[in-house]
Amino acid sequence: MFRWFKNKKKKGEASQKLKSSKDVTSISKNLKTNLQVIYQQIGHSSDVIIRSFQIENSKLEAAVVYIDGLADEQVINDQILKPVLLELRKIGDVRGEKALRDELKRAMTTLSKIKTAQQIESCISHILSGGTVFFVDSSDEALLLSTPGWETRVPSEPTSEPYIRGAREGFVETLTDNIVLLRRRIRDPDFTVDIYKVGRRSKTDIAVAYIRGLANQELVDEVKRRIEQIDIDMIQETGYIEQLIEDNFLSPFPQVLATERPDKVAGNLLEGFVAIIVDNTPFVLIAPATLSMFLQTGEDYYERWMFSSMLRILRILISFIALFLPAIYVALVSFHQNLIPMDLMISIAANREGVPFPSLVEALIMEMTIEILREAGLRLPKPIGQAVGIVGGLVIGEAAVRAGIVSPIMVIVVALTAISSFALPEYAMGIAIRMLRFPMMLVAGALGLYGIMLGYIMINVHLVKLKSFGIDYLAPYVPYRLRNWKDLMIRAPIKKMRQRPQMMKTQDPQRKDS
Amino acid sequence: MGRNRYFIGIIFAFIFLINAGIMVGCWDQTEIEDLGIIVGVAIDKPKTAEGKEEEKKESERNLSYEKHRLTVTQQFVVSQAMGSKESSAGMPSQEAYSNVASEGNTLFQIASQFSTMSSRLPYYKHLKAIIISEEIAKSLNLEQLLNFFLREPEMTRDIQVMISKGCARDVLEVKPIKERLPVLALLSLTENEKKTARMAEKLMLGNMSKKMANGSSFLIPRVVTYGDSVQLAGAAVIKGKENTMIGWLGEEETEAINWILGKIEGSAVETVDKETKEFLVYEVKEQRSQIKPKVEGEKISFVVEIESEGGLGEDWLISGDAFEEAFMQRATEAIREEIVSIIYDGLTKTQKEFKVDVAGFGKQLYVQYPEVWEKVKENWDEYFSTVPVEVNVEIHVREFGMKGSKSMQHE
């Protein structure tokens, strides 16, 4: 009890400390004082480098502060120190602060970004995000120099969403590179990126991207508001953001779409969606998300419309199979045998002859097995993972049937279900459906088809109630907007798609005129 | 606080759901392999003297046992044997079916007796055929007999009804060669309507019940067993209102009724060429018929217009040349006469001998002259036997197959 109290007290202290650090300390004219303050705050770490030097002829003391490895030392030497030390010999003659600053800036003109700062805090955050800070004695301003030097990954094909036709580049872990990937696709001057720093300690950069004058302003404001409200110590991945800003955390369905593909994000931005890009992860969020978005791929728009339409209808079928097939099997086999054609019924009965479990248990065992196999194959290193797949698929399936633990038809049902759930284009929807399959099987085992109907109605009730950023999750099915059905179960020819989705309430609803 | 309440709600929902599952569900649950699927039922009169003593005892209670005593044979599917495709590894292949017989007064009673004899729960939802023996059909009202099947919700309405010549159980005993179950073999036979006109139209239990309720006469397909084979041809004539069988129609007579009904999808008519006395076969490909009632004052008469298209399927004439107009005309005429005579034979038998209307004349009268029908419907079968019927047949021999002539000149 006392310990708990102590802990609480400590927590309070800690938060106070954090708060106090938020107080503003302005830069003093004395270089030594500045360096001391900085040393106090971050100098305890050995990778913080403070290099003091004297500018020749002028006796002016100066210093650069950066973090080893995070800032590019090559750039610091060639573009900051060299010009300042070699070319600015006459700097001693320069009088007046402004003139000094201009002179320094001129010397470092090859650097891409130079800003000035008056507060120590902004200097520190600049240092911690890979920049270099230049202090000069007798100046109460510091120069913030951009010298990013960390390793970045080259954009490569997104492994989570490979397309046959479509760009081979996916997002990377660097926020700026990701924004570049989007900017390269949308050269619209209205393309806007607002950057936030979220995370008490991680101070992760989060960018909210949208098209100004196109996206619904209320939606943009809502997204920003939710991001501003986030209070957490660290943001590791977009998953954190997704779970912190979603509408209903009790729903099994994903309410924000995560993607690795810049083309998909660009397409959605032009439909009035808002993208949330987080530093250090290649997954970008698209908000809001509707159910239909999880059954579509960007490739649908690249292939010819008839084929894409067929695929979309197929995906609806797939999601039903993935959700209901084992449940329907259980219901038919243990309750409604008269609904099975006689020949099939006899063959199922013959196959189940000698199986010791009721069909519900049999189905649960097999579905569990599949989930275990899937997880094992996923977590193992790739070459071993494949071996697990073979062992699981062939040996266990075949052996279980031979041993009479499960019937061969059950193996077919389970295999078809598993393949269907993997065939869904969005992993997040796939796992939601895979999970819901189990309660469906249970109700089917208890109440038969009646139970399946009840379960389906419950899912539908939930979906109808669900909203993502104020937009109905089932839109445009519910509320019914026939005009948007052009891009729903079928994908109409691009020539015929003239409007942006109505549900997005865009400020510029017309995609094109003719 | 609000969140807590939400959680409590969810927990309650779970408890409710689990309870609902445990307390409500599962009473209807029977695993598929625990069912004894019954595909066919045969109804016979008991042959043996078994139970005679019991009968005597019961007869003291003034029940007419002789009339009511029934033997019911049910064909169960042995799904294990069905599942093993071909007898594997030289094992003596097990029969895919087992016939179980039981005796009793009422079908429901007998059905419940089966539950005491079968290790699997008798399951009637896949019942496909009811075979009634001639004896039973002649002595019992079929509406009473089949009442059980019509009443029981487990039965479907597309069960086929057939009448066997001789013992009905024998039909279930005939081991088919191409199928695994005798009943399924029998059902596949009914699908062959496309190729022959000698079967009566298949009769579903639902349709039969409709006809019995209307009081109209109808035909039920006839099953005949010859040793180890089964034939489906001909028909039993069921007299309306009494709903008992009054006699058989032979194969050609059944064909005649099918011609009048316009139900032929394919058949062969054999005739003899008048000049050469050689055989000709007409292959029926299409056939239509129309029954036209005529009412003049009190007199009712019918004209049956029959039209058919087909080809010359076979001819035994050396000089037969299908490219020759005169020959084709001669052949067409011969075929036409043959068909007319077949139809008159069948019609006479049903109309004059059995005094029933099984070809739907009454219905046409009802459709076109409802007020006349009102007057005669009470005793229609009797009345019909005095009504003159005229049959007009039109034949179009459109094709002669791949080879028209036997002589060389046209090849």
Residue of B nearest to A447 (CA): B25
* Torsion sign over Cα B145, B149, B152, B157: negative
Check CB contact under 8 Å for A337 and B128: no
pLDDT at A97: 66
A197 to A208, A261, B40, B56, B308: CA distances (angstroms): 11, 23, 77, 101, 88
**Which pLDDT belongs to residue A21?**
47
Check if A232 contacts B (Cβ < 8 Å).
Answer: no
Are the C-beta atoms of B164 and B224 separated by less than 8 Å? yes
For residue A160, the model assigns a pLDDT of 87
Which 3 state secondary structure label does DSSP give A415? helix
Three-class secondary structure of residue A264 per DSSP? helix
pLDDT given at position B391: 92
Our CA-based measurement puts residue A443 at a distance from the nearest CA of chain B, in whole angstroms, of 7
Q: How much is the average pLDDT of B172-197?
A: 86
Render pLDDT for A86-142 as a digit per residue (tens, 0 to 9): 776 655 555 666 777 777 777 777 777 788 888 888 888 888 888 888 888 877 888
Q: What is the pLDDT of residue A296?
A: 92
Chain A hits for B26, CB-CB cut-off 8 Å, are 445-446
Return the pLDDT at B56: 53
* Chain A residue with the nearest C-alpha to that of B127: A342
Report residue B204: phi and psi, to 5°: -85, 155
Dist. CA A430–CA A422, nearest whole Å: 7
> How far apart are alpha carbons A294 and A316 in whole angstroms?
10
Q: What is the pLDDT of residues B346-373, one digit of tens each?
A: 999 999 899 999 888 988 999 999 998 8
pLDDT of residue B85: 53
Q: Note the pLDDT tens digit of each residue in B117-135.
A: 888 888 999 999 999 999 9
What is the pLDDT averaged over residues B98-104? 90
In this prediction, residue A124 carries a pLDDT of 87
- Token pair 């007798």 is at which residue? A138
* φ/ψ of residue A209, rounded to 5: -110, 140
Q: Do A442 and B79 touch (CB under 8 A)?
A: no
Q: What is the mean pLDDT of chain B?
A: 83
Per-residue pLDDT, A20:
45
* C-alpha closest to that of A194 among A181, A175, A177: A175
> What are chain B's domains?
32-82+94-249 (no CATH), 256-410 (3.30.300.210)
What 3-state class would DSSP assign to A75? helix
Which residues of chain A does B128 touch, with a Cβ-Cβ cutoff of 8 Å? Answer: 342
Question: Mean pLDDT for chain A?
Answer: 86
Separation of alpha carbons B18 and A510, rounded Å: 51
What is the band of B266 on the pLDDT scale with cuts at 50, 70, 90?
confident
Q: Is B186 left (phi over 0), alpha (psi -120 to 50) or beta?
A: alpha
- Please report the pLDDT score of residue B393 as a whole number: 92
The β-bridge relationship of strands A60-67 and A114-117 is unpaired
Is residue B93's pLDDT more than 50?
yes
Question: H helices then E strands: how many in chain B?
Answer: 16, 13
Taking the CA of residue B109 and the nearest CA in chain A, the distance in Å comes to: 23
The chain A residue lying nearest B14, using CA atoms, is A439
> Of B16, B24, B31, which to mutate for an interface test with A (greatest number of A Cβ within 10 Å)?
B31
Which residues fall within 8 angstroms of residue A499, CB to CB, at 6 or more apart?
Answer: A483, A484, A509, A510, A511
**B83–A347 C-beta distance less than 8 A:** yes
Contacts of B86 in chain A (CB under 8 A): none
Q: Which residues of A touch B125 (CB under 8 A)?
A: 337-338
Contact residues on chain B for A448, CB-CB shorter than 8 A: 25, 28-29
Q: Do A346 and B10 touch (CB under 8 A)?
A: no
Q: Are residues B32 and A446, on separate chains, in Cβ contact within 8 Å?
A: no
Nearest CA in chain B to A357: B31
d(CA B15, CA B9): 10
Q: For testing the chain B interface, which of A346, A352, A359, A406 should be mutated: the one with the most B CBs within 10 Å?
A: A346
Q: Between B275 and A3, where is the model more confident?
A: B275
Band of the pLDDT at B88, cuts 50, 70, 90? very low
CB contact under 8 A, A350 and B21: no
Write out pLDDT tens, residues B213-226.
Answer: 888 899 999 999 98
Chain A CB contacts of B30 below 8 Å: 334-335, 337
pLDDT at position B87: 45
| Contact residues, chain A, for B39 at CB < 8 Å | 342
Distances (CA, A) of A63 to A53, A54, A118, A134: 6, 8, 16, 6
**Dihedral sign for Cα atoms in the order B324, B327, B333, B337:** negative
* Segments of chain A scoring below 70 in pLDDT: 1-23, 56-58, 88-97
Contacting residues for B213 by C-beta, under 8 A, at least 6 apart:
B143
Give the model's confidence band at B327: pLDDT under 50 very low, under 70 low, under 90 confident, else very high: confident
Amino acid A93: pLDDT: 58
Quick one: pLDDT at residue B264? 87
**Section B87-112 average pLDDT:** 77
Start-to-end C-alpha separation, chain A: 73
Model pLDDT, residue B23 = 56
Res A223: pLDDT: 95
Cβ neighbours of residue A359 closer than 8 Å, sequence gap 6 or more: A329, A330, A333, A334, A352, A410, A445, B31, B32
Contact criterion met (CB < 8 Å) for B33 and A342: no
Specify the length of chain A in residues. 514
Chain A, window 352-371: residues with a beta carbon less than 8 angstroms from a chain B beta carbon: 352-353, 355, 358-359
Name the H helices within B86-153. 107-117, 134-139, 142-145, 147-151
Q: Angle between the A31-42 and A120-128 helix axes, to the nearest 10 degrees?
A: 50
Contact A333/B at CB under 8 A: yes
CA proximity to B310, closest of B268, B261, B356, B273: B268
- In this structure, is the dihedral angle defined by the CA atoms of residues B307, B311, B313 and B319, taken in order, positive or negative? positive
Q: Please tell me the distance from the alpha carbon of residue A276 to that of residue A259, in angstroms, as a whole number.
A: 11
Residues of A whose CB is below 8 A from B127: none
Q: Is B94 on the interface with A (CB under 8 A)?
A: no
Rg (alpha carbons) of chain A, rounded to whole number:
30
Shortest Cα distance from A345 to chain B (angstroms)?
8
Distance from CA of A106 to the nearest CA of B (A): 59
**B123 in A contact zone (CB under 8 Å):** yes
A152 near A173, Cβ under 8 Å?
yes
- Across the A:B interface, residue pairs with CB atoms under 8 Å apart total 84
SS3 state of residue A192: strand
Distance from CA of A184 to the nearest CA of B (A): 44
Optimal mutation site among A247, A249, A342, A442, interface B, most CBs of chain B within 10 A: A342
